[in-house]
Chains A and B, each alone.
Chain A
């Protein structure tokens, strides 16, 4: 089955700096890769996703890159703000009924 690893487990950055979180997956059949943000006491919320036919996707300060050959994908947050502080989860899924498999999460702290 699919296995998703995520690094780093914790990340602290100064406000205004960039943050990068990396994930690797094991199943070459996976073709959908969402990123979720979980704030304290809340359920995870999708912030951006990418499909395997695309190498990069950007939405304002957030971007995701995908390298299918190497089976890794990354989340990039630029110009970080204190409200970006949360736990971020990557996930992988395929079209054929496989469930979403989540990475272990990264706790991001943006220091003012």
Chain B
């Protein structure tokens, strides 16, 4: 596709369940980022991938959060044993190379933990 695609667009889950969020970056983009945005708040960095380098996981808030990326393609963000404070919009972005040029954002996945 032409842009960054995220799925699902909305997810409602029960507290304690695991969820997987998917991001399809723009083809050819080597850098991929995950951010969390709570209601009315800014963009909280979670993790980024750059090509085959080890990912920067410094923003992951707890060991319940993990992310994977296969090569330079799809990435999945997994949240285990979800808590109500995990409710937020999870945004994915990709760019041609980290810190070089425009980062394109997807529409986000709105996660609600009930």
Contact = CB atoms under 8 A, between A and B. Distances in A.
Contacts of B60: none
B33 A44 contact: no
The binding surface of chain B is classed by DSSP as loop
A97 B56 CA distance: 10
Contacts of B106: 43
A101 B98 CA distance: 12
A46 B102 contact: yes
Nearest to B56: A99
A42 B107 contact: yes
A95 B100 contact: yes
Contacts of B102: 34, 46, 49
Contact of B98 (A36, A43, A99, A103): A99
B5 to A, nearest CB: 11
B105 interface: yes
Interface in A65-109: 89, 93-105
A100 B50 CA distance: 13
Interface of A: 32, 34, 36, 41-46, 49, 89, 93-105
Interface of B: 4, 33, 35, 41-43, 45, 48, 50, 53, 56, 91, 93, 98-108
26 contacts: A32-B99, A32-B101, A34-B102, A36-B105, A43-B93, A43-B106, A43-B107, A44-B105, A46-B102, A89-B42, A89-B43, A97-B56, A97-B98, A98-B98, A98-B99, A99-B45, A99-B98, A100-B33, A100-B99, A100-B103, A102-B35, A102-B42, A102-B43, A102-B45, A105-B42, A105-B43
Given A36-B105, A95-B100, A97-B56, 17 more contacts: A32-B99, A32-B100, A34-B102, A42-B107, A43-B91, A43-B107, A44-B91, A46-B102, A89-B42, A93-B98, A97-B99, A98-B99, A99-B99, A100-B99, A102-B42, A102-B45, A104-B42
